[in-house]
Copies of this chain bind each other. A is one copy, B any other.
Amino acid sequence: MRLGKTEEKRDSILQAAAKVFSKKGFYQARIEDISREAGVGKGTVYEYFSSKEALFKNMLVDLNREHFETVYEGCPPMGSVVRRLEKILVLHFKFIENQRDVGRLLIESHFSLGKEIHLWLWELQLEKIKDLAKIIDAGAAQGEFRRDVDVYLAAHIVFGAVAAVSGMIIMEEIPSGKLENLARNTLALVLRGLKVDT
């Protein structure tokens, strides 16, 4: 299962890109910063990625894959959808917390990038929302969730709620130990709502 030398170098560049882009944002990050961080020459970056934008996109795709593998695959469908959601939230918050800088990029769904790349990012986010929609749909099918809700809308709402709390974790530097509780509370609110039970 060893990666070829080539694959290794490609990876180290992506790692470096994640670090530098996260810290400085797309426009402030310089290719040279990234190449130095990766310990390779500036020209080498262009051996593996055709442009700064391509590198950026690849980095995000990579990050998403890692996020997906950590959060969803590390948490397959199980009996209760609610339980699964709770587990997903915990894993997600931990992922965020483990990789502050990198996590910031995942939350920052919006960038001051050109329109084209902006749309591309929206697509990326939409996919996550659709994954969420499937889960919610499953919950409705199993009778755990109300059937009178617009699943697509609900997915957006849950996504936004989770993103906002993720931002809170990063910006307010919530300590690791409180994440499980935070996940539970967040989910509780999303599931039961604000209103007093009637």
Contacts and interface: CB of A to CB of B under 8 A. Distances in A.
B112 A190 contact: no
How many copies make up the complex?
4
Contacts of A150: 185
A102 to B, nearest CB: 14
Contact of A194 (B26, B154, B159, B195): B154
Given A112-B108, A196-B144, A157 B161 contact: yes
Interface of A: 21, 23-28, 82, 104, 107-115, 118, 122, 136, 139, 143-146, 149-150, 153-154, 156-165, 167-168, 171, 182, 185-186, 188-197
A171 B152 CA distance: 14
Contacts of A157: 161, 164-165, 186, 189-190
A104 B122 CA distance: 12
Nearest to A27: B27
Contacts of A146: 192, 194-197
Contacts of A21: 112
A158 B158 CA distance: 10
B139 A194 contact: yes
Given A27-B27, A112-B113, A156-B165, A143 B196 contact: yes
Contacts of A153: 165, 168, 182, 185-186, 189
Contacts of A112: 21, 24-28, 108, 111-113
Contact of A190 (B28, B168, B193): B193
B107 A195 contact: no
A188 to B, nearest CB: 8
Q: Which 6 A-B pairs have the closest CB atoms?
A: A160-B164, A25-B112, A193-B193, A108-B110, A160-B160, A27-B27
